[in-house]
Structure 1
Amino acid sequence: MQVDPQGPRKRDPLLVPVTGIFILLLIHALVFASEFLIPVTTAILGYFILNAPRRALARIGIPAPVAAGVFTISIATVLTLGGIALSEPLTEFVADIPRLIDRFLLTLTGPAGPFELFSRAAEATDKVMEESGTTSPMKVQVVGGGGLAASVATVAPGLMGQTIFAICLLFFLVASGDLFIQKAVQVADRFEDKKATVMTIRMIEARLGNYLGAITLINIGLGLAIGIAMWVWDIPSPWLVGVMATVLNFVPFVGAVVGALIAGIISFVAFEDAWAAFGVLGTYYALTAAEGQLITPALVGQRLRLNVTMVFLSVAFFAWIWSVMGMVVAVPVLIVIKVVCDAIPRMRKVGVFLGDAEGFVPAGSATTARAEPTRVDGPGT
């Protein structure tokens, strides 16, 4: 009887704690370097999306640097014109938020308001406490009373710097053509690995391009529909609400809820009628729900199949580490992770876990798993 000289492999007892420490350090690094990583991640995703159009222009004789200049100048122009067009109404709206909140609370707790009884009870409690002498004078000192507008003005320069950095990095990435893809292929040792690398990159480009193109068109249509609906309701600045709906709908789950609440508050302050506010809120959310449950699955569903729970967790995680911009890039990053996991045999189980029930592929169906598309459903997707 011959004994295997190697014997059964023992698991390293340090594997789990070292892996846990690495994950904690990685999360800390993502949070600590967020101001640098957010524009870098955005530029890399943009590079994958613009690679296919860049190759199409190259086939008609336009070199990569010229195509990169066209793309980045177009993006910068759209952002600049949009910022100029929206700067004045957004500034007025942000400066007016405290007054809107005060009017909203006054309407709720004032005479004939739905919470008038609670307001009277609170006043009666305060009066009893004052008469019993259980309260003492309290000194209140206001520090940094700049308000919300001052906070926005403080954040704006950093956001502008990150945007400029992302656009410049995107230019250099697109202008380099297929250089990074060639380097990735050169790093791989075997021919099969080189082929798999190219296929994975092409799959990432295709799925990100399909996702962003379809979602952008859907969100523009949703913004137009909501803008028209708000105009029918005769609320102030309906076009601004439509633009807000277009932007917020890039954030799955959260965008629809936040937009509906903002539209409801604006209508409640404008009309001072709770039923009208609920009508506006319901109209907004009904349109986003119809988009998320009917239109998006019909146009994007056969290409993007992702576990809805994992999409929600991804949005929550990136919102925690990268705030609002993290919620925007959460789904594209999850798409990239899904494609990479599907391409690596040792990670294919993770890819199956990230997919939905319809995307499940039995073990051994490697070719089908690699070709299986992904989907993102849900209201406000």
Structure 2
Amino acid sequence: MPDLSGKKSETEIPAPPTSSRHPLAVPVTGIFILLLIQGLIFASQFLIPVTTAILGYFILNAPRRALERIGIPAPVSAALFTVSIGAALFLGILALSEPVYEFVTDIPGLFEDLMTTLMGPGGLLEPLTQAADASGRVLEATGEQPPMQVEVVDNVGLATSVVSVAPGLLGQIVFAISLLFFLVASGDMFIQKAVKVSDRFQEKKNTVTMIRTIEARLGNYLGAITLINAVLGLVIGAGMWWWDMPSPWLIGIMAALLNFVPFVGAVVGALISALIAYVSFLDPWMALGVFGTYYALTALEGQFITPALVGQRLRLNVTMVFLSVAFFAWIWSVMGMVVAVPALIVVKVICDSVPKLRKVGLFLGDAEGFLPAREHTIKPTAPDRS
């Protein structure tokens, strides 16, 4: 019989609370994501130097604190860092401007020589040329005129395009260095403000831990990657010298810079080296050997050296790294590919620190960082004795 006394049955288990989601939550979130992506693309000229300066601020916080402990104030450290970065960039551009300009100017000629060699007598694409000539003769024999070829002459060459882009790029570099100076000169002001806006003590503690983790991981990653790329550039330059390639030191510098771009940099560098070898020596086997040497050295670095030095500290999902590089390359071009992995590191640390975003951080991590969730069992509440 049902209990008519009005008292709750001792065996009754209260139903868990149900969470209701607003019906417009999903479409509003989707619209926000689309607008965010469009905003990132539209404001790329402003956001690229800002993102670079913020990443540099996280990296330079540790050495700035080390200099403060020996009595050097933050503004002096900021001036020292930014002047050093600016001088290094200026000297690098000054030293590489002439050979890079000559190489960029020679790229159209290299492609013309390549197509002439490939499609000429004895070239790899000679059968295609013969087939095209045969098709033209057949059309002439049947009385049909082939479509008229119109050649569009563009007086703006590749070198002229690079020169036209240079002022905007120089302005972004100056803006990024200036912003980096003000960020580093402010010391821990932004970190202190981030701690103050947190309400509870545990939130303040998590904020400090998150910021210190970002600084440590970015510093370890970029420091190790810079050292690895410098050694890789020397090794590849020596390999190109062994193959008797023209300007092997320039190819080594190119390899060191391109290796900051995961996945894509190694392939692009190997293809450019093979192109230079083929045009210089007109030997496909030598071009293949140069390509294999370049790519083998980068594969050795990517598969064994880099994972051994920085892999255990990052623990990023390789698929997500590839998607991150592709996404930032789409919205921010070449510079986006450079900042893709550091930005992914920051996002991973933030997701791991915020409880509501830990599921996202789980997908960004690798298999070793996976921790199975504990099984949750519903226990009946204690009976009401009142």
TM-score (normalizing by structure 2): 0.91
2:311 aligned with 1:301? yes
Which ranges in structure 1 are unaligned for 5 or more consecutive residues?
Answer: 366-381
Q: Which of the numbers 42, 49, 62 marks the counterpart of 2:52?
A: 42
Q: Tell me: CA distance 1:111–1:11, structure 2 relative to 1, closer, same or farther (3 Å).
A: same
Matches within 5 A, 1:21-170: 21-135=31-145, 138=148, 140=150, 142=152, 144-170=154-180
Aligned-partner Cα distance in 1 for 2:330–2:14: 50
Counting matched residue pairs gives: 365
- Checking the alignment, whether the CA contact within 8 Å between 2:139 and 2:146 is kept in structure 1 is no
* Counterpart residue identity of residue 23, structure 1: I
* Counterpart residue identity of residue 284, structure 1: Y
Displacement of 1:7 = 6.3
Q: Tell me what 1:362 maps to.
A: 372
Matches within 5 A, 1:277-288: 277-288=287-298
Q: Tell me: CA distance 1:259–1:7, structure 2 relative to 1, closer, same or farther (3 Å).
A: closer
Q: Which of the numbers 166, 177, 193 marks the counterpart of 1:183?
A: 193
Aligned-partner Cα distance in 2 for 1:129–1:73: 67
Identity percentage of aligned residues: 70
Q: Which of the numbers 243, 247, 252 marks the counterpart of 1:237?
A: 247
Displacement of 1:113 = 1.1
Aligned-partner Cα distance in 1 for 2:149–2:344: 50
* Counterpart residue identity of residue 183, structure 1: K
2:222 aligned with 1:212? yes
3-state secondary structure, aligned to 2:312: coil
Q: Tell me what 2:283 maps to.
A: 273
3-state secondary structure, aligned to 2:122: coil
**Bigger Rg over Cα:** 2
Aligned-partner Cα distance in 2 for 1:283–1:49: 34
* Counterpart residue identity of residue 162, structure 1: Q
2:235 aligned with 1:225? yes
* Counterpart residue identity of residue 260, structure 2: F
Residues 71-113 of structure 1: CA deviation (Å, up to 9, x unaligned)? 0001001110000111000111001001100111111111111
3-state secondary structure, aligned to 1:236: coil
Displacement of 1:168 = 0.3
Aligned-partner Cα distance in 2 for 1:143–1:6: 73
TM-score (normalizing by structure 1): 0.92
Q: Tell me: CA distance 1:289–1:7, structure 2 relative to 1, closer, same or farther (3 Å).
A: closer
Q: Which of the numbers 199, 202, 213 marks the counterpart of 2:212?
A: 202
* Counterpart residue identity of residue 252, structure 1: P
Aligned-partner Cα distance in 2 for 1:235–1:117: 29
Displacement of 1:4 = 8.9
Residues 228-256 of structure 1: CA deviation (Å, up to 9, x unaligned)? 00000011110000000000000000000
Displacement of 1:301 = 1.4
- Checking the alignment, whether the CA contact within 8 Å between 2:136 and 2:146 is kept in structure 1 is no
Aligned-partner Cα distance in 1 for 2:197–2:14: 35
Aligned-partner Cα distance in 1 for 2:51–2:76: 23
Residues 270-293 of structure 1: CA deviation (Å, up to 9, x unaligned)? 110000000000000000000001
Displacement of 1:19 = 0.2
Which ranges in structure 2 are unaligned for 5 or more consecutive residues?
Answer: 1-6, 376-386
Aligned-partner Cα distance in 2 for 1:340–1:303: 15
* Counterpart residue identity of residue 301, structure 1: G
3-state secondary structure, aligned to 1:44: helix
Displacement of 1:130 = 3.6
2:341 aligned with 1:331? yes
* Counterpart residue identity of residue 306, structure 1: L
The Cα RMSD (Å) is 1.9
Aligned-partner Cα distance in 2 for 1:177–1:55: 8
Residues 260-318 of structure 1: CA deviation (Å, up to 9, x unaligned)? 00000000001100000000000000000000011101111121110000000000000
3-state secondary structure, aligned to 1:301: helix
3-state secondary structure, aligned to 1:98: helix
Q: Tell me: CA distance 1:266–1:79, structure 2 relative to 1, closer, same or farther (3 Å).
A: same
* Counterpart residue identity of residue 25, structure 1: L
Q: Tell me: CA distance 1:177–1:263, structure 2 relative to 1, closer, same or farther (3 Å).
A: same
Q: Tell me: CA distance 1:133–1:43, structure 2 relative to 1, closer, same or farther (3 Å).
A: farther
Report which stretch shifted further, 130-139 or 215-224.
Answer: 130-139
Aligned-partner Cα distance in 2 for 1:4–1:191: 33
Residues 151-173 of structure 1: CA deviation (Å, up to 9, x unaligned)? 11121111111111000000000
